[in-house]
Every structure is written in C-alpha cells, then in structure tokens.
C-alpha cells in the first residue's frame, strides 16, 4: 500500500437519523455537511466533506446486531490534543453516556463507548511519536494501562 493512503470515512447504518446526528454532532463535535431528508447525512470535521456517513436505507427502526456476530468492532476518532479529548469526554459523560472502557496505550489515550445504535466508538488522542514507548530494538511497546479519567477531565476546555 502506498504510504500516503488513509482511511477516508466510515458509513454507518442507523435506526434513527436525527438521534444519530445529535450524537455525532452535538456530543462528539462533528459538523453536519449534508443531509438527504430522513434517509442519510454526512458529517465532517475541519471543513472536510465527510468523515462519517449515516443512513437509514436498510435500517430505519432496526435493532442493533446481536452480540457474538461479525461486524464493525468500533470506529476510532482522533482528537488533536489532550484538552480536546477531555472536552469531548466531558460532553459524553454530561449526556449520561456510559463508557465501555478507557486505556492508556502508551502511544495514545483512549475512551470507548457506544453510539445510540450500539456501534462501538473509540475517542482518542495520540502522543507525539518521540514519546511513544519502545523496546530496546526500537519497536513499539504499546501498553493497556488504566487511563486516569479524573486527571483527563481536569484538562477539559
């Protein structure tokens, strides 16, 4: 793969478009860039046309897939720095959304939760590459340590 390739967007089937837009825009902070009635919406950040597509084409009013089935594990959304991650985490908790977990991976700090359709969501920020933990041979030594949520929230802007 070319080193310039990246993941462009995620497109999710949702049961209720307005509910999904409220979550991804009002809580996570994405901008609504386009909407097609009650069938689809596109959300972006930083002026990009869309990072997230939402649609009800095959899923209006549907229930989430049962546990133990294949599908998307989670979508991960990168925030630019620790205060931005803290701010979105504060909005998540203020909205009464329960976290599935939180971890300090050494290279990043992440919190895990579910959107209204029970899709897994990771919210994270990367540390500077110079601060990444490494083994003696130079390879990454990622961790799965407990994330100090209160300390993170202290940095919310």
Residue 32 is predicted with a pLDDT of 98
Intervals of CATH 3.10.180.10 along the chain: 6-60, 73-157
CA–CA dist 156, 29 (Å, integer) = 14
Query: Beta strand 120-126 with 75-78: parallel, antiparallel or unpaired?
Result: parallel
Q: Which CATH number fits domain 6-60: 3.40.50.2000, 3.40.50.300, 3.10.180.10, 3.40.50.10800?
A: 3.10.180.10
The two structure tokens encoding residue 153: 């929230």
All residues at 6 or more sequence positions from 142 whose CB lies less than 8 Å from its CB, including other chains: 105, 106, 107, 133
Q: What integer pLDDT is reported at residue 123 of this predicted model? A: 97
Q: In a structure prediction context, what are the per-residue pLDDT tens digits for the chain, which is 157 residues long?
A: 778 888 889 999 999 999 999 999 999 999 999 999 999 999 999 999 999 999 999 999 999 988 899 988 999 999 999 999 999 999 999 999 999 999 999 999 999 999 999 999 999 999 999 999 999 999 999 999 999 999 999 999 7
SS3 assignment, position 61:
coil
Structure tokens at 116: 């209204």
Alpha carbon distance 50, 41 (integer Å) = 9
Six-digit token pair at 127? 């540390």
Q: What is the pLDDT of residue 132?
A: 96
112's tokens: 């895990």
Tokens of residue 96, six digits: 């009464």
Q: Is the pTM of this model over 0.75?
A: yes
C-alpha 97/C-alpha 28 separation (Å) is: 12
* pLDDT of 5: 85
pLDDT computed for residue 3 by the predictor: 84
Q: Are strands 52-55 and 10-13 parallel, antiparallel or unpaired?
A: parallel
Q: Tell me, what's the pLDDT at 67?
A: 87
Distance CA 76, CA 80 (A): 13
The tokens describing 72, both together, are: 């998307």
Domain 73-157: CATH superfamily, name plus number = 2,3-Dihydroxybiphenyl 1,2-Dioxygenase, domain 1 (3.10.180.10)
The residues pairing with 120 across neighbouring beta strands, listed in sequence order, are 114
């Amino acid at each position: 793969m070319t080193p310039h390739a990246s993941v462009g967007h995620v497109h999710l089937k949702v049961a209720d478009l307005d509910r999904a837009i409220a979550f991804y825009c009002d809580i996570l902070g994405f901008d609504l860039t386009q909407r097609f009635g009650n069938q689809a919406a596109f959300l972006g950040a930083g002026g990009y046309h869309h990072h997230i597509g939402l649609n009800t084409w095959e899923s209006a009013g549907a229930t989430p897939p049962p546990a133990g089935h294949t599908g998307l594990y989670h979508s991960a959304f990168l925030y630019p720095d620790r205060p931005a991650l803290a701010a979105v985490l504060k909005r998540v908790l203020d909205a009464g959304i329960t976290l599935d977990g939180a971890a300090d991976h050494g290279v990043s700090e992440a919190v895990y939760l579910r959107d209204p359709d029970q899709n897994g969501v990771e919210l994270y920020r990367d540390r500077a590459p110079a601060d990444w933990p490494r083994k003696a041979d130079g390879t990454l030594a990622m961790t799965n340590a407990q994330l100090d949520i209160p300390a993170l929230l202290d940095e919310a802007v």
